[in-house]
Amino acid sequence: MKQAIVSYHKDEENHWVARLACGHNQHVRHQPPWTNRPWVETEQGRKTMLGHQLQCVKCEQLAPRDWYEK
């Protein structure tokens, strides 16, 4: 199921994580050649991807939310 990116944060290992509209988190790493996401390396790049939809495996697995809006 596709879900929109609503914000970002860094995890404990300093990797970028997208917060999705569904309440799940998903790492958004740039690790070529397997994962090509150069946009994650700059603030402007991340801003341009807000609203972009990513496939959420956690939704497909009916996993509980990782975060809740305050």
Note whether residue 68 is domain-resident.
no
Note whether residue 23 is domain-resident.
yes
Please give the model's pTM, rounded to 2 decimal places. Answer: 0.90
Domain assignment of residue 50, given as a range: 2-60
Domain count of the fold of the chain: 1
User: For residue range 50-65, what is the model confidence (pLDDT) as tens digits?
Assistant: 999 999 999 999 999 9
User: For residue range 11-35, what is the model confidence (pLDDT) as tens digits?
Assistant: 999 999 999 999 999 999 998 888 8
Backbone dihedral region for residue 14 (phi beyond 0: left; psi -120 to 50: alpha; all else: beta): left
- CA 67 – CA 48 distance, rounded (Å): 22
Question: What's the pLDDT score for residue 70?
Answer: 59
